[in-house]
Amino acid sequence: MKRMAFLLATVSVLPAAAQSDTENAVEQARAERQVDYQAVGISMGGFTFYPTLGVGAWNTSNVFRTAAGAEADTYLLLTPGFEVISDWSRHQLKISGGADIRSYADLPSEDRTDWQAKIDGRIDVTRPLRVMLSAGHEVRHEERGAPDAPGNAAEPTEFAISAGEIRADYRSGRYGLKAEAVYNHFEWQPTRLNALPDRSNEDRDRDEISGAATALYEFSPGYAAFVRGSVLERDYEQDTDRDGVNRDMARVGADAGVEFELTTLLVGELTLGYRDYTFDDDVFEDISSVNYGAALRWYPTELTTLRLNISRALEPSTLIGVSGVMTTSYQARVEHELMRNVQLEASAQITREEFEGSARNDDTTRLGFEARYMMNRYATLSANADYVERTSTFPSAAYEETVFGVNAGLKF
């Protein structure tokens, strides 16, 4: 595709808000309070090896996330992982990996192993200029109740993501430039269906290339304005999907906003932007939207952090007649250090999903709570409780689920 060739030849970028002096101070103070509970690692020459292992027991009230006839089950969760980080005075190399292994007591069809491996590098070209490179591969399983997941699937569908990324960050005085180019390849395995032949998912295999470019100017101490341009190309490997439709699309966007530090207690970013989605197949109507976003961090005390986020994006879909799902999400999270080694976290999220080309709209509410107790620098105990409720204009897509879990973690 012509647009794909153009994107491959373009230096693109996707910046994140610069970390403020307030955030640096909060993180440094937190690290100093918890120094006795941080992993030491195993020295390996110019590198340090940090292995981890988690063992947990979880119970879910609705394994298949169905509107009626919910089935509960308990599963064992193993989460081995590791990081190898360089100890160099300049530049950095990090290799990491991990797995999420679930084994259900009564429903072995839901057993799964997700895993990921990644390598990250940072090149300190000069003091103001850094270049970050990363590459990784991960294997996941599509969650029950996902919009594109068939209700009669015999087991969750496995898919893999191969990714590569390059970022550049330049900041000198009041001026800053940020750049990023991202490539993702998605590959899906067939879906096993109950009492039916397997369903091929080759029409879901795709490549995605995205990027953005940002210019930033600090017009006053603690305040910086920025403008950002972004592009995304989604190219499916098959010319048409199972319904004879070409799902290829492109997105062009522009944003403007401000990063601010109102006081040492409140920092964040506000954005206003425009997105234009163009689909290759005339069966889908092109979409334009005005987007807004916010990322706020409030530090009422040195032990408490409140985070608020708003995001809006169009996600791909393989549903008949649906060009994509416009997702708007509002999130809030509170983190509190009850003691140096006892941390509490509560979160709430409200998500609106609008299915473009369909009468379906979903509203999902998520509530979560986690308590962590660090026994020493090697062992951590945690307990979690999560609640999810989805309502929909399609009643069969609605569900409720409550999840409880306890976990023991080891780190070295």
pLDDT of amino acid 2:
40
The mean pLDDT of 365-392, rounded to a whole number, is 97
Give per-residue pLDDT as tens, 33-62.
888 888 899 999 899 999 999 999 999 999
Give per-residue pLDDT as tens, 117-129.
999 999 999 989 9
pLDDT of amino acid 283:
86
Are the CB atoms for 356 and 332 separated by under 8 Å? Answer: no
pTM above 0.95, yes or no: no
CB under 8 Å, gap of 24 or more: what pairs does 219-226 form?
219/174, 222/20, 222/260, 222/261, 222/262, 223/258, 223/259, 223/260, 223/261, 224/18, 224/174, 224/176, 224/258, 224/259, 224/260, 225/256, 225/257, 225/258, 226/15, 226/176, 226/256, 226/257, 226/258, 226/259
Question: Which residues, at least 6 apart from 401, have a Cβ–Cβ distance to it below 8 Å?
Answer: 60, 61, 62, 65, 70, 387, 388
CA 322 to chain centre: 23
Total residue length of the chain: 412
Give the position of tokens 């005085």.
173
342-356 and 324-339: which strand pairing?
Answer: antiparallel
CATH numbers and ranges of domains, the chain: 2-411 (2.40.160)
Higher pLDDT among residues 63 and 147, named by residue: 63
Give the position of tokens 């032949």.
197
State the DSSP string of 254-280: EEEEEEEEEETTEEEEEEEEEEEEEES
The mean pLDDT of 143-152, rounded to a whole number, is 88
Q: What are phi and psi of 61, to 5 degrees?
A: -85, -10
Please give the Cα distance from 113 to 116 (Å, whole number): 10
Helix or strand or coil: residue 175?
strand
| Helix H or strand E encompassing 47 | strand 47-60
